[in-house]
Structure 1
Amino acid sequence: MKVLPAHEYLNQHSIPYEIKTFSSETEKGAANVAAALGFRERQMIKTLIFETGEGEQLLVMVGADQHIKSGKLKKAAGSRNIKMASPEKVLEVTGYRIGSIPPFCWQPEGFRTIIEASLLDEDILGVGAGEWGNEILITPEQLVKASKAVPYDIVQPAE
């Protein structure tokens, strides 16, 4: 089994996790990963990079079936002006291409990470390992610890 930087990071910090793999032919998207691995969409995490008007980048984690509510994210970020980072900016900031960005192992000190608070109610979550076809299964508590994420209510209410 290939050991990726995200695995090394978790091993170094004694954070328990499980490795799952799926076909690299799987169409991109957390919902497709959930289907490939037999999980609910909510359990597979979208790792998104946003930029504030002040020039700060943020990592934001939500379930594959969740949609961020702009006003809630602005409040959580403390910025009135926030937008998704371009694919080029994401690669520059994280070192990873959109599609399998691990939510830990690459952030400089002080980099802010936000996780949708309702995800803490799940038994297990899946996050990208940095290479398409590789997923890390981890408990919400361990994900918060690994990513130094702060929980906020940032999604639109379920219909």
Structure 2
Amino acid sequence: MKKLPAHDFLDKHGIPYEVKTFSAETEKGAANVAAALGFRERQMIKTLIFETGEGEQLLVMVGADQHIKSGKLKKAAGSRNIKMASPEKVLEVTGYRIGSIPPFCWQPEGFRTIIEASLLEEEILGVGAGEWGNEILINPEQLVKASKAVPFDIVQPAE
């Protein structure tokens, strides 16, 4: 198994997790990771980087089958103007390319992270380990601890 910075971070902080791998040929997207690993889409997390009108970047975590409601995210972020960061900005801010951004191990002090509150009801969640084909399985409480995420209701209600 290849050790990645995300694994080292969790080990250093004594946070339990499991490593899963899938084919690097798998089409990008958390829903495809869920299918490859045999999990429900809700359990595989999209780690998204947003920028506020004030120039702050935020990490936002939602399930692969969830869609962010703009008004709820603006309220959670405390900004009326918020947009997805460009791929170039994501790489500059995180050091990772879109597709396998770990939600911990790279953030400077004070970097804000938001997690969709309903995800805390899941038994296990999967997050990117920083390299496509590698996934970290972690329980929601440990994910919140590792990422310093604040839970908010930010998604559209399920139909």
Name 2:119's counterpart in structure 1. 119
TM-score (norm 1): 1.00
User: Separation in 1 of the partners of 2:29 and 2:111?
Assistant: 24
Q: Deviations over 1:18-77 (max 9, x none)?
A: 000000000000000000000000000000000000000000000000000000000000
Identical positions, percent: 92
Runs of 5+ unmatched residues, structure 2 = none
Name 1:11's counterpart in structure 2. 11
Q: Deviations over 1:96-147 (max 9, x none)?
A: 0000000000000000000000000000000000000000000000000000
Q: Say yes or no: does 1:38 pair with 2:70.
A: no
Q: CA deviation at 1:10?
A: 0.1
User: Separation in 2 of the partners of 1:36 and 1:2?
Assistant: 19
User: Separation in 2 of the partners of 1:72 and 1:9?
Assistant: 31
Matched position secondary structure for 2:33: helix
TM-score (norm 2): 1.00
Q: CA RMSD in A?
A: 0.1
Matched position secondary structure for 2:55: coil
User: Separation in 2 of the partners of 1:22 and 1:8?
Assistant: 20
Q: CA deviation at 1:17?
A: 0.0
Runs of 4+ in 1 over 6 A off after TM superposition: none
